[in-house]
Amino acid sequence: MTSVLGRLSSCGGAVRRLCTTPVRFEPKNVDELFTNNMVWRTSVRSTSPSFFKDMASGQSPRYLWIGCSDSRIPPETICGLPPGSLFVHRNIANLVNNVDVSAMSVIQYAVLQLKVQHIVVCGHYNCGGILAAMQGIDHGSPLENWLRNIRDVYRLHRDELDAIEDMDTRARRLVELNVLEQATNLYKTYAVQQRRVETFQNKSLYGFIQPRIHPTVYEPATGELRPLDVEMKTILKDLAPIYGLYRSALGEGEESGEFEGMGPSYATP
């Protein structure tokens, strides 16, 4: 144990970074989890004595992160943020499905109780869920039921996608379009609309309409997280007559500022 601790304790910044020092453990058990946790706790206490006390007092994250379950994309790590910064929901291919009770519960709690200011929808290239949905294969229930949501995204954008001959490039574009559709699905939820109306009517108190929605994509090959260059404001303006639940409270639509924070993601800090 001493040699393991010695090797692991050399990894600094334990709150923000993962330890990458290789340590061998027996594959038949999960000892590495408990050993690494002990080292992490020790390191955190040495650099931030009040950290765990602060964590125990409650949470007030600014961000709701909706991402893929892929093990290569740990949200806090790739964003360089400590625990407590992100409220996280992850599933295969970062879907926002209105009949997914888990996702809808997370969104409701994050938006109406925690009152997050931003929602980040993060897809990633080389996504197994996206690649599986592009195959004409029955993957079996319940996975196939889930992948159908991605196939629906493909159907909505079929002309654009079918025009891309290179399959790798097509898959990358489907990753981006899927993120866009899930960001759009967020707007359709009552929780997001309700909170945006509340903050719209009290902008002097909140500073800006919340939550802002940010479609993003992660490149595992480089570690880069970037916003998608999309005009969400235009998309949502077209959707509002159908999906808008609080039109009477917003006055004259876009002219009233309803879609503030829904423009190109790179322009919405």
**Other C-beta atoms within 10 Å of 165: how many?**
7
For the stretch 44-70, what's the b/e string if a residue is b when 16 or more beta carbons lie within 10 angstroms of its beta carbon? beeeeeebeeeeeeeeebebbbbbbeb
Is 118 annotated in a binding site? The answer is no
What pLDDT is stored for residue 103 in this prediction? 98
Per-residue pLDDT of the chain (269 residues; tens, 9 = 90+): 434 444 433 444 444 444 455 566 778 889 999 999 999 999 999 999 999 999 999 999 999 999 999 999 999 999 999 999 999 999 999 999 999 999 999 999 999 999 999 999 999 999 999 999 999 999 999 999 999 999 999 999 999 999 999 999 999 999 999 999 999 999 999 999 999 999 999 989 999 999 999 999 999 999 999 999 987 778 888 888 899 888 766 554 444 555 554 433 333 32
Q: What's the CA gap between 26 and 268, in Å, rounded?
A: 47
Of the CA atoms within 13 Å of residue 147, those in its CB half-sphere come to 18
Q: Return the active site residues.
A: 68, 70, 72, 124, 127
What pLDDT is stored for residue 40 in this prediction? 94
pTM for the structure as a whole: 0.84
What pLDDT is stored for residue 3 in this prediction? 41
What pLDDT is stored for residue 34 in this prediction? 94
Is 70 annotated in a binding site? The answer is yes
Q: What's the CA gap between 66 and 243, in Å, rounded?
A: 21
Is 11 annotated in a binding site? The answer is no
What pLDDT is stored for residue 12 in this prediction? 41
Q: What's the CA gap between 160 and 154, in Å, rounded?
A: 9
Crossing angle of the two packed helices 167-188 and 143-156, in degrees rounded to 10:
100
Is 68 annotated in a binding site? The answer is yes
- What structural domains and CATH numbers belong to the chain? 1-58 (no CATH), 59-267 (3.40.1050.10)
What pLDDT is stored for residue 2 in this prediction? 39
What pLDDT is stored for residue 22 in this prediction? 56
